Structure formats: structure tokens, C-alpha cells
Amino acid sequence: MKKEQHPKGWNDNKTNDSWAIFKIMGEFVSGYEKMSKIGPCVSIFGSARTKPEHKYYKLAEKVASKIVDHGYGVITGGGPGIMEAGNKGAHLAGGTSVGLNIELPFEQHDNPYIDNDKSLDFDYFFVRKVMFVKYSQGFVVMPGGFGTLDELFEAITLIQTHKIEKFPIILVGTDFWEGLIEWIKTTLLTFGNISEPDLDLIHLVDTEDDVIAILDAFYEESRLSPNF
């Protein structure tokens, strides 16, 4: 019988994959231990490339400050751009400012507005995403790129499929998001790939006051305490 052939290093890769489980477990354990102590927070997502002079950077800062004023902390991806604006707004307002950092070949570096004891580093995107979903009372999604869309649609999918409890998902910036919303309505819904009630999973707003109104209305109406 002919001996089965495998690519060079195949067995080494299998061994490395097995040991990686322990590193993944370590990230989960560390994340759970630190995040479980932070209290109710809202996550703010958006582009790492947004500059401080941009209107959406300034708006994200205002949104974060308003969130803190209403008793929540702020969680971001810990990097520059919109993430920095979110942490900055929370920090300057005297609130909880959390950064879930991840090592990337470009763009990512810790911003200076994260609380010293609330900066977490991750190697794995999927572990980091679990922390966002598990420990957030709402998602505020500013204009961003692929990473922002990834976080947005994963949260929508998890809520749609009842894998997690519903929480507010708020898109900020009509001029940025309206094309996507229109495509969802005219294509996804028309083709029967989503249902009409799925449209209610997301909100589209333009101001920090609108963001707070949706958060407060959700927790008042659902009679849920904004905690975990």
C-alpha cells in the first residue's frame, strides 16, 4: 500500500494548532476576569483612519461623553481614529474608558485615553469580539471600514438568530449609512433573505442625544437593568 503523503511540516502544524488552544483559553480567561468588573458599558465602533479634525471624530467624542453622563462606561477597540475619540470623550467626562486592543500590521496602536487598568490586549479577533458582545449594553457604530462592518453584522446576526439577548445597535451618520440601509431594504428584504422585523434590529441617527434616547428607551421599555 502506498504511504500517505503530507506536505512538509504538516505534523508540526497539527501540534502548533493543539497548543494554540491554551493561548486562546488564556485570552478568554483574562478577558472574562477583567471585563466582568467594569460595570455597564456601551461599545463605540468606527474607522481607525478618522482624523481628529473630522466631524465624525468630534461627534464620537460627544457621543461618548453623553454615554458617560448617563451612567455607562465606553468600550472601544483601543486604537486611533473613532476609537480614540470614544475613549477620549469617556475619559474627559470622568467615566470608565475601556480599550480592547489587537495587534495588527498597520493602523492599530493604543490610544492615550484608556484607563490604565482597563486596557486589554488580544491576538485573536474572535476572542476580542466575544468581549464586545458579552460586556456591552449597546453598540454605537460610527462610519468605518471592513472591521466596523464585521462587528456590526456579527451583532445583528447573533441577535437575529437568538444566540444573544437583544441590545440596541445604533448607526450614527445618515450620510454614511443610508446607502447601506437602502440596500438592505431593497435587496436583502426584496429577495427574501431577511424578514421585515429584522429591520427593527438597527437604528439610524445623527446626534448624541438620539443615541442616548434609544439606549434609555430600550432599557426602560424592556425593564432590563443595563448590567450583565
pLDDT above 70 as % of the chain:
89
Per-residue pLDDT, 227: 46
> What's the pLDDT tens digit per position in 39-64?
999 999 999 999 999 999 999 999 99
The whole-angstrom separation of Cα 168 and Cα 107 is 28
187 vs 200: CA distance, rounded Å:
16
Of 75, 51, 96, whose CA–CA distance to 141 is shortest?
A: 75
Mean pLDDT of 101-127: 87
pTM score, whole prediction? 0.89
Domain coordinates in residue numbering, the chain = 10-222
**Do residues 193 and 160 lie in contact, with contact meaning Cβ atoms separated by under 8 Å?**
no
User: Residue 1 above 50 pLDDT?
Assistant: no
pLDDT above 80 for 5 = no
Place 6 in a pLDDT band, splitting at 50, 70 and 90: low
- Residue 134 grid cell: 458579552
Tens digit of each residue's pLDDT (9 = 90 or more) over 66-113: 999 999 999 999 999 999 999 999 999 999 999 999 877 665 578 999
pLDDT at 12: 56
Helix (H) or strand (E) holding 224, with range, is none
Of the candidates 83, 89, 145, 90, the residue with the CA atom closest to the CA atom of residue 110? 83
Count the neighbouring beta carbons within 10 Å of the beta carbon of residue 181: 14
pLDDT of 16 reads 78
Average pLDDT score over the chain: 91
Q: Give the count of beta carbons closer than 10 Å to the beta carbon of residue 166.
A: 14
Which whole number is the average pLDDT over 20-44? 95
Given this model, what pLDDT does residue 128 score? 96
Secondary structure letter of residue 188 according to DSSP: I
Provide CB contacts within 8 A for 139, sequence distance 6+. 42, 43, 45, 132, 151, 152, 155, 167, 168, 169, 170
Statement: residue 197 has pLDDT above 70: yes
Biggest CA pair distance of the chain: 73
Measured distance CA(61)–CA(82) in Å, rounded? 8
Q: What is the assigned CATH class of domain 10-222?
A: alpha beta
Position 220 confidence tier, pLDDT thresholds 50, 70, 90: confident
Return the pLDDT at 19.
Answer: 87
